[in-house]
């Protein structure tokens, strides 16, 4: 008999946000992943709302055992900016019940330092999955650079590498929201898988895909369907049809189905100046800078496989959620 495959140990750092919420639900429904904790950052909405939204999604999914740690309330240097597409609360028009538990007592950065230090000492590194501005991870690396030994890989949603930005012509929101934090992470030498707009703009939530998700039924199918319908950009000129690009769940999907993604290795720098280029992610495809190509930039995604996986896991997760 083949030995049982151990679940991959992960920490999710997020700023819910509609797409973060869907990513959390996908992670909760995936037994291949051992979620060691959730850290929350200011981003799509303010830190009080991102924490509340995370706790509400945990309650919706019946996840009461995963600690949620509130993190940094603003970027390192720049003034905060907010997301444009998740609504004023961050969860569209959802009216979920109030959280049934408070966040954990430890700050997110303190938790990251402690958990990753322990992982390094145990020789059991953790995959850090980032879905918002990189403030929490950057501060943790500045406090104790040795935690890098406890990180197997950073799998992030962030950047625009061969396509225009979604917040400025050059920059994607997560990187623009805290470009200085992104610079710290990209220049850390850590192995990184970067899932940017190049990939997520291929993963549109078309009406047919939304209908497939809603067909799951129950509280999860209804909730994700409502979120995706609110998420529709109404911009067929840019996206070649109706629907919105689903960003953050691709991070979890990449862990579960790496064969559905194509990558290209490069060193990546983050532009920290420039009125028009702040937050731009600049890939060095041909080794012109001499920097190590430590970033695997996702260039393609099998969108049908991704949405099929999402529907499959939501259906599995439904079994433990009251409809």
pLDDT one-digit tens code per residue, 91-146: 999 989 889 899 999 999 999 999 999 999 999 999 999 999 999 999 999 999 99
45: nearest Cα among 170, 177, 140:
177
pLDDT (0 to 100) of residue 236 = 75
CB 170 within 8 A of CB 277: yes
Which strands sit side by side in the sheet containing 261-270, from one edge to the other?
68-70, 33-40, 8-14, 126-130, 151-157, 192-195, 295-301, 261-270, 281-284
pLDDT (0 to 100) of residue 319 = 47
User: For this structure, is 247 an active site residue?
Assistant: yes
pLDDT (0 to 100) of residue 237 = 76
CB 43 within 8 A of CB 17: yes
Name the CA dihedral angle for 262, 159, 180, 73, rounded to a multiple of 10 degrees.
-110
Q: Which of 183, 201, 247, 254 is catalytic?
A: 247
Classify strands 261-270 and 295-301 as parallel, antiparallel or unpaired: antiparallel
* Nearest-angstrom CA–CA distance, 80 and 173: 11
Q: List the chain residues with pLDDT less than 70.
A: 1-4, 318-323
pLDDT (0 to 100) of residue 2 = 53
pLDDT (0 to 100) of residue 3 = 55
- How many other CB atoms are found less than 10 A from the CB of residue 201? 21
pLDDT (0 to 100) of residue 77 = 98
Classify strands 126-130 and 33-40 as parallel, antiparallel or unpaired: unpaired
pLDDT (0 to 100) of residue 138 = 98
């Amino acid at each position: 008999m083949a030995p049982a495959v151990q679940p991959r140990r992960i920490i999710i750092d997020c700023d819910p946000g509609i797409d973060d919420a869907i990513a959390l639900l996908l992670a909760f429904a995936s037994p291949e992943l051992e979620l060691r904790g959730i850290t929350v950052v200011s981003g799509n909405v303010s830190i009080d709302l991102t924490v509340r939204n995370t706790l509400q999604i945990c309650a919706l999914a019946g996840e009461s055992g995963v600690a949620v740690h509130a993190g940094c309330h603003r970027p390192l240097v720049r003034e905060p900016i907010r997301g444009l597409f998740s609504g004023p609360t961050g969860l569209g028009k959802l009216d979920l019940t109030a959280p049934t538990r408070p966040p954990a007592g430890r700050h997110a950065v303190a938790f990251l330092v402690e958990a990753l230090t322990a992982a390094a000492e145990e020789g059991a590194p953790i995959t850090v999955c980032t879905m918002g501005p990189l403030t929490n991870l950057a501060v943790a690396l500045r406090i104790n650079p040795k935690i890098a030994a406890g990180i197997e890989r950073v799998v992030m949603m962030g950047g625009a590498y061969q396509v225009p930005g979604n917040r400025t012509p050059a920059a994607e929101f997560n990187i623009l929201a805290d470009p200085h934090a992104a610079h710290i992470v990209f220049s850390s030498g850590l192995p990184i898988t970067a899932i940017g707009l190049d990939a997520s703009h291929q993963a549109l939530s078309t009406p047919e895909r939304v209908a497939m998700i809603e067909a799951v039924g129950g509280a999860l199918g209804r909730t994700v369907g409502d979120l995706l319908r609110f998420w529709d950009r109404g911009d067929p000129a840019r996206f070649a049809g109706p629907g919105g690009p689903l960003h953050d769940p691709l991070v979890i999907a990449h862990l579960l189905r790496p064969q559905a993604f194509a990558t290209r290795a490069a060193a990546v720098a983050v532009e920290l100046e420039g009125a028009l280029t702040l937050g731009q992610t600049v890939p060095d495809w041909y080794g012109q800078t001499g920097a190590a190509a430590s970033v695997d930039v996702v260039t393609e995604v099998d969108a049908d496989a991704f949405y099929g996986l999402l529907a499959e896991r939501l259906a599995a997760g439904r079994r433990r959620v009251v409809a």
